[in-house]
Amino acid sequence: MAVENQQQPWAGPEISVSPSRAMSEEEFVAWCDEDTRAEWVNGEAIMMSPANIEHILLSVWLLRVLAAFVDHHNLGVLMQDAQLRLPGQRARRVPDLLFVTQDRQSLIGRTAIEGPPDLIVEIVSPDSLARDWREKYLEYQAAGVREYWVIDPASQHMEAYVLDAAQADAPYRRIEEKEGVVESVVLAGLKLRTAWLWPAGRPKVLDVLREIGLVSG
């Protein structure tokens, strides 16, 4: 399926459209400003409900931990709420977090990441259960996103998946949790205790950085 080139800015007239009606990708880009949380899928804008406080707290905590790890090891770029365009799919997704390695920085376009990042993290909200666990799982797998985390604060459940690099078109396989720890494949050496993700067990970022070896003392 041909994918429209979005490198050129939308040059059409200023528009005001309702997200409930169909729109082209160009219309969506023109309509969706930095204050609008929406995704574009198969010609329709999908409004994303405002994140609840726990969603925000977990997202910020993860951003700080992962950004420190990525920066310390000079691995690439970590982004929050960036628009994402995947090859062969009529969609603009907005993952909670995504990571692109140093050698793939050409994917970073003017308005979106133009291709599969190396890691995506989605934090599940009540209105995104089907999207995150099924729709996005299949989209990211098909597009070649190497690693995908799904975190559900409501059920305090996290699963991480990775593609088999040695097998073309392979489905995701689940990264096994061992003694309460999930180890990333893409961010080699990063080990996270799943208990840290939930409010009762969430340590200060500095304490996490000490445990994963980024800070001494």
Q: pLDDT digit string (tens) for 185-208? A: 999 999 999 999 999 999 999 999
pLDDT at position 22 over 50? yes
CA dihedral angle for residue 179, residue 180, residue 182, residue 188, rounded to 10 degrees: -60
Domains, in order of start, for the chain: 12-47 (no CATH), 53-211 (3.90.1570.10)
* Mean pLDDT score, 26-49: 77
**What does the pLDDT look like over 85-103, one tens digit per residue?**
988 778 789 999 999 999 9
pLDDT more than 90, % of the chain:
58
Q: What are phi and psi of 27, to 5 degrees?
A: -65, -40
pLDDT at position 8 over 50? no
Give the residues across from 92 on adjacent strands.
40, 85
**What does the pLDDT look like over 118-150, one tens digit per residue?**
999 999 987 666 566 788 999 999 999 999 999
Query: So what's the pLDDT on residue 132?
Result: 67
pLDDT at position 7 over 50? no
Q: Give the confidence band of 12 by pLDDT, cuts at 50, 70, 90.
A: very low
Contact 116, 100 (CB under 8 A): no
Spell out the residues 6+ positions from residue 131 whose beta carbon is closer than 8 angstroms to its own.
Answer: none
Q: Give the confidence band of 19 by pLDDT, cuts at 50, 70, 90.
A: low
Contacts 24+ apart (CB under 8 A), 174-182: 175/147, 182/158
Best CA proximity match to 42, nearest among 80, 83, 93: 93
Mean pLDDT across the chain: 84
pLDDT at position 2 over 80? no
